[in-house]
Structure 1
């Protein structure tokens, strides 16, 4: 069955009492049981039934089932945000004395979690160039609990070889964990490339216009013990489960994701091509461009589309500010993959609390503007960016 069909026609776990076509929003904290034995079975996991909405809710379970059906995963856990999904994953995998091998090229808060927050609890962060497989091998040892990366880094737009990294991880008996938010899981199979745990900020493409915050942890059958820990420890002891109303909105968003994504990806490629000839823009970053150094690898791993995030480089920070302030259609906002096109200066916002030296080490440049391409006419987006780039 096609992924688009699965996104729309995954059946409910139980038939709705009123025959609703859309999964109802079960806005309730607790559930009534017929007997004490039934209650005990639900709470101990002997039967699959909701016991308390902090750990299981029918509306959230339905979204999890849809994603599991599309990805062929062993289990899916829906969390309250993308960062909640990342932090819960790292907590479930790590322990005092363990280390995480990762890159300096990633979203600022993910980097802070691994390099600042987790070390306070005795977890070491080992950063290296994930494009250098020998460097990765040197950093992995008996105490490594995972290799973690973004499939297209934000905002550096770096693409690593997932199959090669998976081979290293599996040789050492550890999982490869990938944040795949930039390319929807409807478009490619991360597990086929060796990814064991997939993390998605469902706030982005999935929500359908940035309507809600959410995150997904997608666990494949290579990490069944991890999936059990996510359910039985992370949710029970730490919380951060997705709310039912968010799950309802994101289930609807999943139904139109493919249609929206195809327009956004096509807009991004056309926009990137046109922006290469705009005066004032010194560089356009997009892995969908044929002259991009990661184009061939990205196409081999993710298929014919390259996401909806591009970067442009201008003369300096002042030029970036002037450009952003001159935009008329494109919104000055954070987030990615909204229906609306968004622009932000990463160095002064997402990475604004890092030092100049730290940003330099992460290759976050003062000259870069990140653009999340939306569903507007690509000609209208282009004209707004062109006029803003020429503002003096």
Structure 2
């Protein structure tokens, strides 16, 4: 990020050059009998100079500098002791944190916030943000990638795929590495666009292996096989045989020349080892890779009787500040979470090991649950009640949650 001194130097340098430009242009215009350059024109010059200074990644910085310049052109010198012309590192991280939290709830709103705040104004920035930002929900990343269909979006998808290093990898190794970066969406058209981008990126990195059409077709066949072999919803149905897989795949345009041995090796690998978007909750860059605290607690079902306490595995994160809960400690995908912005935590008066989460401003407490189909279900409650495994652990959870809430508000 840019320090205050960097911004002030940029303003000072630009102002000096602008002052010189104005004096020279004034002399030229006077001799030619033309009107002097307007403040708006000078602001354009300043904006170009600011870009050259390396501020093009932050729209707010350019906007602030332009506003300062226009004020000075209208009525005097730049006020160096006035308002801040740049986002501080803390402000930058807070904006980024809000984008992450919004994106994890609604990827479309998140993408809009990215563009509005300078994190996704170009396809390059969008691809980099989705590929490298820690704490993004991988399911939402998949939805975002699948929603790209116009020229700008397809360019972001292409750059995202090419940003995954696949050089020198075998096909299945590359596909597994690629699919760990996000969770494939459920719609076949979205999956097809994403896998086509993968195929192009893989062939660009390994030009001697396959044609793009072949790589695309094999990738799609692999996803169908993976679903057939490992989906819990298809347990009652007969599984695809090796002969069916090789026969069906070879009938696809672009795959007729593939050897039986190659297709059989893919079948054996996929049926033996499921392709997953994350190996465990703590994969680097995942939502939970830098957890503040994790462990077992009981959660009272909303609006249910006192006996309806369900044992869940909880993970507390700081970026974003949220309390996630899972079916058990082996699950990779959460059942839901409670955002900790504008929330109070207190020790329960009814249970020695209990905690209560309540809204700060007398509103309802927000919560998010994932349905069986993966859709987000929003909830609002007066209180969320939790019980730790011991009194000592309840205090540890209380202190950890309090620390996160204080930073978030």
TM-score (norm 1): 0.29
TM-score (norm 2): 0.28
Question: Larger helix proportion, structure 1 or 2?
Answer: 2
